[in-house]
Structure 1
Amino acid sequence: MPMQRNRLYYFLLIVLTIIIGLASRHFSNYLPEIINLGLGDALWALMMYWMIAFVFPAASIRNLTAMALTVCFLVEFSQLIQVDWLNAIRSYRFGALVLGQGFLWSDLLAYTIGVASGMCIEMNLMRRRVIS
């Protein structure tokens, strides 16, 4: 029988990840620079993992991981496209948070860490029967 996630849990994980992400920006002066370098991107990818789990509650963890990484990588590679209308969207805070500003290879690593963290957290919570 395919797994069916409880959307309420995943909604709460999305909100919690957003709160942690905003807090990490607010308190960035207190964190080591090596952490600040990729923390926001990793948390953004983690949030993307939870959002895709929310939208596709019956997806396998493998498919969910693949979808999340694909979205994250496509958004990053889209930053190589510099057209006026897309740059106009990126000029607003929300647009910059969602679409990013400039392509960095290191962001791909941060996204991979964020999505892998989501996968590991989910597998651990499922094993403990905290979420389903």
Structure 2
Amino acid sequence: MKPRFIYFILALLTIVLGIASRKIVGIPLFVGDILYALLVYFGFRWLLLKSKRPWQIVLPLLFCFAIEIQQLSTAAALVAIRETTLGHYVLGQGFLWSDLLCYTIGIGLAYAVDQFYFQRIVS
């Protein structure tokens, strides 16, 4: 199976799990934040398949941190986007330091799974 296809399927599966985690009562909210980071990681791997190892972690982490930090902005355009369903899922609603930790855990988990499992399948 081609690596790009694997990352695409993993991203789609993560989207489904992430939405389900927000709809099912009893699943802690931080699970959705970790899944969001997984999605970003798999998305970057899909886009930048041949990126060097440090960038496989740095770029998705910078993206997640940028999304979280932009939540501190009260710019009218950003607020309007965040009030839509899709905007809320992508840009979030309010800044939380704990989300930065969840993103770090999620990307670390995705990287570990990628390096120790999927890279062996693809190779």
Q: Give, in whole Å, the separation in 1 of the partners of 2:100 and 2:82.
A: 19
The count of residues paired between Structure 1 and Structure 2 equals 122
Unpaired runs of 5+ in structure 2? none
Q: Which TM-score applies when normalising by structure 1?
A: 0.86
Q: 2:21 maps to which residue?
A: 24
Q: 1:130 maps to which residue?
A: 121
Following superposition, the deviation at residue 87 of structure 1 comes to 0.3
Question: Which of these residues, 101, 108, 123, is aligned with residue 93 of structure 2?
Answer: 101
Q: Give, in whole Å, the separation in 2 of the partners of 1:97 and 1:76.
A: 12
Does residue 61 of structure 2 align to residue 69 of structure 1? yes
Unpaired runs of 5+ in structure 1? none
Q: Give, in whole Å, the separation in 1 of the partners of 2:122 and 2:39.
A: 16
Q: Give, in whole Å, the separation in 2 of the partners of 1:52 and 1:61.
A: 12
Q: 2:84 maps to which residue?
A: 92
Q: Give, in whole Å, the separation in 1 of the partners of 2:53 and 2:13.
A: 20
Stretches of 4+ moved more than 4 A in 1?
A: none
- Percent identity at matched positions? 39
Q: Give, in whole Å, the separation in 2 of the partners of 1:47 and 1:15.
A: 8
Aligned Cα root-mean-square deviation (Å):
1.4
Local SS of the residue matching 2:11:
helix
Q: Give, in whole Å, the separation in 1 of the partners of 2:53 and 2:85.
A: 31
Following superposition, the deviation at residue 130 of structure 1 comes to 1.7
Q: Give, in whole Å, the separation in 1 of the partners of 2:57 and 2:117.
A: 16
Report if aligned partners of 1:89, 1:95 keep a CA contact under 8 Å in 2.
yes
Local SS of the residue matching 2:68:
helix
Q: Give, in whole Å, the separation in 1 of the partners of 2:118 and 2:94.
A: 36
Q: 1:7 maps to which residue?
A: 4
Following superposition, the deviation at residue 62 of structure 1 comes to 1.9
Following superposition, the deviation at residue 124 of structure 1 comes to 1.5
